[in-house]
Structure 1
Amino acid sequence: MQDIPAPRRTGRWPFRRGSPPPLAETLWRIRVTVPDTPGALARLTARLGRLRVNILALDVHPLAEGAVDELVIRAPADLAENTLVNALIEGGGGDVRVAPAAVSALADEPTRAVLLATWLAEDPDDLPRVLHQLLSGAELSWVEHEHTEALDGGSLRLRHPDGGTFLAERPGLAFTPAEFARARAMITLAHRLPPPPGRMVQLGERTAVLRRARPQDLDGLLDLHARCSPETLRRRYLGAPQTSRRALRTLVSRWSTHTLLALCDTEVVGTGSVFWDGDSAEVAFLVRDDWQNRGLGRELLRRLVDTAVAGQVRSICLHTYADNTAVLHLARLLGHPVRRSIADGVLTLELAPAAAVTR
């Protein structure tokens, strides 16, 4: 009997002769308010079906009146966003929000919450970023002297056990009780976890420990500024240094600013901060004179930029004097494209992250 040759592997899924190739498709995430009436969801999904849309995931969040439905759909690639929005409105939906989605969006909300909790387990100081991810589309801020907690439509206040309140705002799209409960659980978890240990870095013959700043580090931060030369402070603050206790207190607030400290034994020998501004961030750092030219500035800047990139910002800015070529050299070593601009003797370096860092 003659041997039958084995079929060649082409790397493609076999189709029947004459069958059309698969259509290109796109994933979308949808958030829509649906009336609390029988058949409301059925009418919405039927309208989507006319567009050859396949619903892959659905989460329902009951409200006092109606419900907020979150869907992940697979749609033909040529389906325009405005066509999708109009179909949802025609199907009886309100407060429609649509956005392109990645495959990771197929994870349901409980699964996503567990993933975010693992971030906190690694670093409780990641709480603001976790809340921002959890409360999709919300603007998050920290109110130091407020101690309230409330769920009011598109405004959400979450009290921290140590004092202060996280304020989340999402105009036009109300928060759900489920979102409130999950955010509350994240804050409780972060409060119960111990602070992460510092990371030791070897800088020639010296060793420093880098860790997040705490409110109790204010005196150490004041001492660092007192022991820096006027020229070092001038380069950091581009003019009159802001070294008062009141000015520096914001840098050691655990939630309003991401500030790193470099310590040798108990002395603060360097510091750096990330200042968030929507989808951009500014970084700045300061190294005590006797610790300069040892690699500490490079280490601080690298970790600050990594933090900003992990926050999924689109641009990262650093301001210094135009003659500060050392900072320009450090920025180029980070591996991100750098754009320079000079105005009134101040050099602005804008780093464009190649891609958002994900864990």
Structure 2
Amino acid sequence: MQQTAGQSQGETSRSLRVTGWRLAVSAAACALLLAGCQGETVSRGDPNRGNRPISQAVLEELNVKGMTRASPVLMRIFKEEAELEVWKRDASGRYAHFKTYPICNYSGDLGPKVREGDRQSPEGFYQINMGLMNPNSSYYLAFNMGFPNQFDRSYGRTGSHLMVHGDCSSRGCYAMTDEAIAEVYALAREALQAGQESFQVQAYPFRMTPRNMARHRNNPHMAFWRNLKEGHDHFEVTRQEPQVDVCERRYVFNAVAPESVLAQGGAPQTREMIAANDPWAGTRSAGVSRANVTTSAAPRTPVPTSLNQPVTTIAPVTRAAPPHPLHGHRRRYLGAPPHLPGRGPLPCLCRSRTDPPRRRGEERPRHGAGRRPVA
């Protein structure tokens, strides 16, 4: 009996030792995996991690490329390649590539984020200001991408707290190593503190090459990706941050007014300037028909006082009221067309700088463009 009890105690102790050894091995393996994601030189408990200065090595790289710590910054994300590019403005005034950082994890598949909880990482154009920077993130450091933006909201997309952060763990975000996010965060922070109001993040599904576009040509998101490629190509050619707007639930880049509403000297007019010069602005808001409006530019014909009165004094040369500024040009609307009284603000001027102008003799659109209003 005593021998049996001794054997049982010995087996129990051996079992405990084996279990402890296995737990130690598992813990070591987990530590190695975490070290691969988080790195070994960054202290996650550092309360001042959001204010850590840019390293001397990075400053030297900036100097070699003609950049400074205060130079404006722009970032591009390529989901399929799992890369984040940092661009800085150099001495020429254009953006130049500074460095590419690996993204160790992102959620979901290629394609935009649609709804809360779908674990998709967003795609599109986002502006990040100082209020979206998080130096106290539980994922070491992070900045919020500002999802949903105006484009996402136009489709009713939902989601919150979509970040670029450390910790190499993603639930709808773009996750990086702690060393990488520390460097990226510092570059963005220095630019914002130097006066840049916000920096742009361009998130793409893949590098927008013709080969990749052809490879994904049957993807249901291809129309959206072609729209993203317009902004991508603008930056590739100009090396300037594209001015992004949304019109008819599409991204438009560097939208300008049509040629007929350009101010003298070629400067585009604002919507307020167009409204101020619009002879129908007051009548449109009041619901008055243009046909019932008499303008000073089109006076009534005087009644002749005698049969010998010259014709020029009876019917002087008059000019009709000027056409609406947007007549005769391609246009897209966020609200109702301008000829419908009392139906919202002026339409969005969505003509892109990259759109080719209509050539002389080219057929006009069939929606009535080019008609002059009745005086």
Name which one, 1 or 2, has greater alpha-carbon Rg: 2
TM over 0.5: no
Higher RCO (CA 8 Å, separation ≥ 6 residues): 2
TM-score of the superposed pair, with normalisation by structure 1: 0.24
Q: Where is the strand percentage greater, Structure 1 or Structure 2? A: 1
